[in-house]
Structure 1
Amino acid sequence: MNQSIQRILVVGGGTAGWLSAAYLAKSLRVADPNSPYRISLVESPDIPTIGVGEGTWPTLRNTLRHLGISETRFLRQCCASFKQASKFIDWQQSPKNGQHNHYYHLFDLPGMHWPFSPAGYWAAGLAGDTPYADAISVQAKVCEAGLAPKQITTPDYQGLLNYAYHLDAGKFAELLTEVATGELGVTHIQANVTEVQKHNNGDIAAVGTDRAGLLEADLFIDCTGFQSLLLGQSLEVPFKSLSDVLFTDRAVVAQVPHTNEDTELASCTLSTAQQAGWIWDIGLTNRRGVGHVYSSNHTDKTTAEESLRRYIGSGHDALNYRHLSMQVGHREKFWHRNCVAIGLSAAFMEPLEASAIFLIEAACYMVADQFPKNRQVMDTIAGQFNDSFRTRWQKVVDFIKLHYVLSGRTDNAFWLDNKDPSSIPDSLKQKLELWRHQLPSRYDFSFAFEPFTQESYEFILFGMTPGKLPEAGPLDPDLASRAREQFERIQTAWTQVNSDLPSHRALLNRVQQQGFYPS
């Protein structure tokens, strides 16, 4: 039990595996010749990266900075673009007479520009009939105009507006491989795992491989995807399905090449509701990644593919359409004995709010910060990790479900079934009942590591149901006056912002040519 934890083996590559290996190697200073730690990653040369999730959160900027990767290098090698928001199209109701509806979930949160919360003052009508996202920030207008969140002279990972990225997941894994092995001291092993050996106490002792023999370690990180080879299969940690809450369990995906290098790119993720699911549309520098996420209980794969083909439009008959099955849910534990699962081996939720890569990052942060010194303390740390991520995943479920529950669509049983009270988690029911009578409060979000904050909920609530909000509570007259001034200031600021910011495509082209100016 006093055995030191010094040898870490990551099993599986992709974003989860290589981000885990790179982040831990950097945090534990593995490249230092005097470091007692050793990190290896074994991955099959025969299993391709799934690479479906290509949206990220602003947290990735700090992660990349921590790994020592410049923003120019990242954007160039990953065909990446900027993501400033998610734009939800036709979620409020199905389009009527060809008229579409939309609202924004911005990354530019009110707390970044407002000294107090503007929600109550907007709900009281002090911004007139301006949509919430437009009232509290210029970012929605920036997205509509196809502008970037920064200039070529803006230092790495800084922006005039808050932002994340869209990226090619396969190329991102390649970049992380290059950095982890070339700069951070990670040993790369290409082999297929053929067996898992255990100690008498039930801990994993080693994995056997077809090309590299037996690989021993003190801590194993399971990044083997849906098969969950270590945590699920070997340690037999059960999988908790959430298919009774989140109904989308299939996807059909395609990559749409750009016609030329000057094709304009949306700087937000487009999420367009369909009869039995929704379509994502993500613009990279070299292509668009599009996919239709749907419920197999409410439509079939042929109809889903037809919907995606119709969305993409004519002229793309040669595209390759891939059909994917998704296991929606999570393991009952994420860290058991000397094995922690990160990525798909731990959990999967539909990619509606791009939480997958963020939760990989979050797992890396916690493992690095709480890294066990010896086996004796590992079970305590594992318990804390499990409690934290069990709560985080439930919060993600609530937030995703919120989008469906608030929708006014009634054109398919899919949307009606999502409103069935039996499919709504009690924790979300309680919040929605409370918010029928009063606006959200910071006290409704007491968990220290809330994946979606009060501001995120407000974007969805105010965007989906702007005419069904409760009356705001008593308003401070002084703050009300300041709120009016700030609402007006944001509207007038748009002219200056519009002239200062380059187009999204123009900035990405300049990054390819010259890179960002040194900070």
Structure 2
Amino acid sequence: MNNTPIQSILIVGGGSAGWLTAGILAATHQQRIRQKQLTITLVESADIATIGVGEGTWPTMPDTMQKLGIDERDLFRHVPMSFKQGSQFINWHSEHAESSYLHPFDVPPGAVEGDLSRLWLQQNTAQPFSQYISIQHATCALGLAPKTTQQGSYDAYLNYGYHLDARAFAKYLKHHCMDKLGVEHRIANIKKVNVGADKTITSLDTDTDERLHADLFIDCSGIKALLLGQALSVKNIDVSDTLFCDRALTAQIPEQHSPIASVTRASAQTSGWIWDIPVPQRRGIGHVYSSRHMDSADASGVLEQYIRSSFSSTASSTYEIREIAFNPGYKEQFWVGNCLAIGLAAGFIEPLEASALVMIELSANMLAEQLPVDQSEMPIIAKRFNQTFHYRWQRVIEFLKLHYVLSERQSRFWLDHRDPQTIPERLKELLQLWRHRVPSLLDFDRNGEIFQAASYQYVLYGSGYPTQLQQSLPQDKVQQLLAQIETTKHNQLQLQSGLPRNRQWHDVFMAHLA
């Protein structure tokens, strides 16, 4: 048994994945770093640009930033960003009539148990599901911030994440990790990955003639997966037969005075969908599509039409389109020997529910919490890690597929998505069950479920899924829930009168810095 202690960690690749991982590890193990018992080094190339095109986070990100010791006010000062309170899905139901539904971050009492969904169905109300149960529906619709300008860092009335400029975010994290958390930094290209007979990485050779050694290597090198994919030959599990999108056309459109939305907008298109992510200085727009159903010229035309219809003629004439190609899928194993992959090196699928950054957070947190003490623990922790993230990737894929399965759009792309042969078996079973019961804890009973019952309810009933309940709620429960709904309405009105709009919050905040 090898009891050699884990004293050095080498992260290959920067960007959001590399620097978030470095920060979470360093913050968790700060005492060991200060006592010189652990070193964390990040090596990145000066030649490779971050893919980041403007991203949305989950409400986990404020907690992560706080854990890293970051003052939220300082973060807003240096990174173009705004508050995100959910996602809005526009025209996913049909191409023949305008429609939208909301997936807010709010999880009201009684949601995960299914009680509020049962009440909404039982009342047979025409009110949209999210509006009926969630305090956040109105704030999202009005573009309100989740906090006042008087509230401090991470203090808010409502659950929130961020819309942010991914490049600026990675740059900010880099300086914070180096200056505050003791992470060491190298600028170099990896020329060779040296692998031993036991399929563990022994060292990395760089173009600066350094040989870098470590006890644990973390692959954050992006889609190319330099360590886990190329050097250790771990293959991808292809999911393109379930989720068809494999291309994205992206653009950044200047916009400095218009209202800032509280949600990521996802607008359905003939062969994919368009994201619309606002920060104070611009909006990030991207057309995610399937190259099997549309060529790049037509996809560009769809994106350009969206931009023309959404922006002034001046703004819509000053942008450049970038294309990103990807193979939807994830690694057969995420941790092999003394190497694990986090971020795009572990896998990538379309960014429909902003799962990319939260998967980085979850991966880095699990590693930080269960960091092996010595080499003898490595295979045990690696097995756990692989089992956990196989489960999580499968759940993400099912949840994204749900959005397509519930649509009634009629183009070939959407019809193919509803082909039963493309639907994961577990999702088919859940949809069968949900014909007569609502999503609840009974369906998602594992600790750390990435999408819980409330998320499924927002999508299912926002899309008009026809659950036919076989049993009504008891009358005393109905009265209790109706009282909760009335309280929610009252609180909504108070928040509407007291919260600033996102643009107003930003302008007041920046004025205080001047």
What is aligned with 2:378? 378
Any idea what the Cα deviations from partners look like across 1:126-154, whole Å, max 9, x if unmatched?
Answer: 6x321110011231211111111111122
Any idea what the Cα deviations from partners look like across 1:277-301, whole Å, max 9, x if unmatched?
Answer: 0000000011100000000011111
Q: How does 1:11-410 map to 2 (within 5 A)?
A: 11-29=12-30, 32-52=33-53, 54-96=55-97, 100-111=98-109, 117-125=115-123, 128-211=125-208, 213-258=210-255, 260=256, 262-313=257-308, 314-315=313-314, 316-410=316-410
What is aligned with 1:418? 417
Check the 8 A contact 1:6/1:38 in 2, yes or no. yes
Check the 8 A contact 2:113/2:440 in 1, yes or no. no
Deviation at 1:230, TM superposition (A): 0.4
What is aligned with 2:476? 478
Which of residues 497, 502, 505 in structure 1 aligns to 2:503? 505
Letter in 2 for 1:16: A
Instruction: Output the CA distance in 1 between the equivalents of 2:353 and 2:173.
Output: 23
Deviation at 1:374, TM superposition (A): 0.7
SS in 2 for 1:61: helix
Query: Structure 1 unaligned runs (5+)?
Result: none
What's the TM-score, normalizing by structure 2? 0.96
Instruction: Output the CA distance in 2 between the equivalents of 1:483 and 1:119.
Output: 11
SS in 1 for 2:191: strand
How many residue pairs align between the two structures? 507
Instruction: Output the CA distance in 1 between the equivalents of 2:22 and 2:281.
Output: 28
SS in 2 for 1:484: helix
Check the 8 A contact 2:111/2:454 in 1, yes or no. no
Alignment of 1:444 with 2:443, yes or no, is yes
Instruction: Output the CA distance in 2 between the equivalents of 1:75 and 1:212.
Output: 39
Instruction: Output the CA distance in 2 between the equivalents of 1:184 and 1:26.
Output: 6
Check the 8 A contact 2:111/2:117 in 1, yes or no. no
Deviation at 1:32, TM superposition (A): 4.6
Deviation at 1:35, TM superposition (A): 3.4
Instruction: Output the CA distance in 2 between the equivalents of 1:205 and 1:324.
Output: 33
SS in 1 for 2:205: strand
SS in 2 for 1:246: coil
What is aligned with 1:495? 493
Deviates more, 1:444-453 or 1:480-489: 480-489
Query: How has the CA–CA distance of structure 1 residues 451 and 113 changed in structure 2, closer, same or farther, with 3 Å as cutoff?
Result: closer
Q: Which runs of 4+ in 1 moved over 6 A?
A: 112-116
Check the 8 A contact 1:95/1:101 in 2, yes or no. no
Query: How has the CA–CA distance of structure 1 residues 513 and 8 changed in structure 2, closer, same or farther, with 3 Å as cutoff?
Result: same
Deviates more, 1:9-18 or 1:436-445: 436-445
Instruction: Output the CA distance in 1 between the equivalents of 2:350 and 2:107.
Output: 23
State the superposition RMSD in angstroms: 1.6
Check the 8 A contact 1:226/1:327 in 2, yes or no. no
Query: Structure 2 unaligned runs (5+)?
Result: none
Instruction: Output the CA distance in 1 between the equivalents of 2:91 and 2:425.
Output: 27
Instruction: Output the CA distance in 2 between the equivalents of 1:513 and 1:206.
Output: 50
Instruction: Output the CA distance in 1 between the equivalents of 2:209 and 2:11.
Output: 14
SS in 2 for 1:443: coil
Instruction: Output the CA distance in 2 between the equivalents of 1:369 and 1:344.
Output: 22
Instruction: Output the CA distance in 1 between the equivalents of 2:205 and 2:332.
Output: 26
Deviation at 1:53, TM superposition (A): 5.4
Instruction: Output the CA distance in 1 between the equivalents of 2:432 and 2:113.
Output: 29
Instruction: Output the CA distance in 1 between the equivalents of 2:111 and 2:463.
Output: 23
SS in 2 for 1:471: coil
SS in 2 for 1:373: coil
Instruction: Output the CA distance in 2 between the equivalents of 1:101 and 1:194.
Output: 52
Deviation at 1:474, TM superposition (A): 3.0
Query: How has the CA–CA distance of structure 1 residues 116 and 298 changed in structure 2, closer, same or farther, with 3 Å as cutoff?
Result: closer
Instruction: Output the CA distance in 1 between the equivalents of 2:33 and 2:386.
Output: 31
Check the 8 A contact 1:132/1:463 in 2, yes or no. yes
Any idea what the Cα deviations from partners look like across 1:289-343, whole Å, max 9, x if unmatched?
Answer: 0000000011111111111111111442231001110121000000000001000
Letter in 1 for 2:148: Q
Deviates more, 1:433-442 or 1:184-193: 433-442
Deviation at 1:201, TM superposition (A): 2.1
Deviation at 1:472, TM superposition (A): 5.6
What's the TM-score, normalizing by structure 1? 0.95
Identity %: 43
Letter in 2 for 1:309: E
Query: How has the CA–CA distance of structure 1 residues 442 and 293 changed in structure 2, closer, same or farther, with 3 Å as cutoff?
Result: same
Check the 8 A contact 2:112/2:440 in 1, yes or no. no
Check the 8 A contact 2:216/2:339 in 1, yes or no. yes
Deviation at 1:492, TM superposition (A): 3.8
Instruction: Output the CA distance in 2 between the equivalents of 1:140 and 1:477.
Output: 27
SS in 2 for 1:352: coil
